[in-house]
Amino acid sequence: MQSFIIKLENQDNELINDENICCYLIDSSYKKEAISPLADKVHKQDKLILVGGKDADKICRDDNLDGVVIEIVEDIPHKKKISELRSKIGKDRFIGIICPLQRHAAMLVSETEPEFVAFRVDDRDKAAEIISWYNELFLIQSAVLSGKEKCDLREFDTDFLILTPQEYKILVAKKERLD
């Protein structure tokens, strides 16, 4: 069964105590004064909290978060960028990378050895094909998140689903109806 990473937005933390969620992701726009109290709540639950966006590395260090999630969109020396990022946040912290739906990009990103590689579903069929190919070749955990094409993310063979609170609540409601 896939594990859930919930993207907390607008200081929405009603899902902190949900036992089905293993990790939370905030954006660097999250209110600065709310980050440390949120991290304390998450850590008391023995869960992880990651940060993405501008200055994610600084926020991760300053607020003692568990890692960062970055999005790769350009063709740059990924190894160098990720190595620099690891040195900034600390070697014991997690890095998740959101990667384009391209085999070449997935290979380059995976060479940097992040904790997980995430794929945004902009094209359902292409995502299914890339994720299947990726899982055959790499041992690095994979994740999927919503993109342009809306679909049930559970259909993808990934370790994690990255969902907004609303997407998570809809998924739980659908599951409860089926049970």
Note the pLDDT of residue 171. Answer: 86
pTM score of the predicted model: 0.91
* Portion of the chain with pLDDT greater than 90, in percent: 69
- Contact between 74 and 97 under an 8 Å Cβ cutoff? The reply is no
Contact 153, 146 (CB under 8 A): yes
Q: Would you mind telling me the total number of residues written for the chain in this entry?
A: 179
In whole angstroms, how far apart are CA 166 and each of 59, 77, 134, 149, 163?
A: 25, 36, 28, 16, 8
pLDDT at 177: 67
| Alpha-carbon gap, residue 178 to 65, rounded angstroms | 36
Judged by DSSP in three states, 154 sits in helix
What is the set of domains in the chain, with CATH numbers?
3-178 (3.20.20.70)
Sign of torsion over alpha carbons 74, 76, 82, 85: negative
Higher pLDDT pick, 14 / 106: 106
Check if the beta carbon of residue 9 is closer than 8 Å to that of residue 35: no
Residue 13 has pLDDT above 80, yes or no: no
Give 3-state DSSP helix, strand, coil % of the chain, rounded to 5: 40, 25, 35
Tokens of 107: 């290979």
pLDDT at 98 over 70: yes
At 162, is the secondary structure helix, strand, or coil?
Answer: strand
Residues 117-174: pLDDT tens digits?
999 999 999 999 999 999 999 999 999 999 888 888 999 999 999 999 999 998 888 7
CA 160/CA 13 separation, integer angstroms: 20
Helix (H, G, I), strand (E, B), or coil: what is residue 102? coil
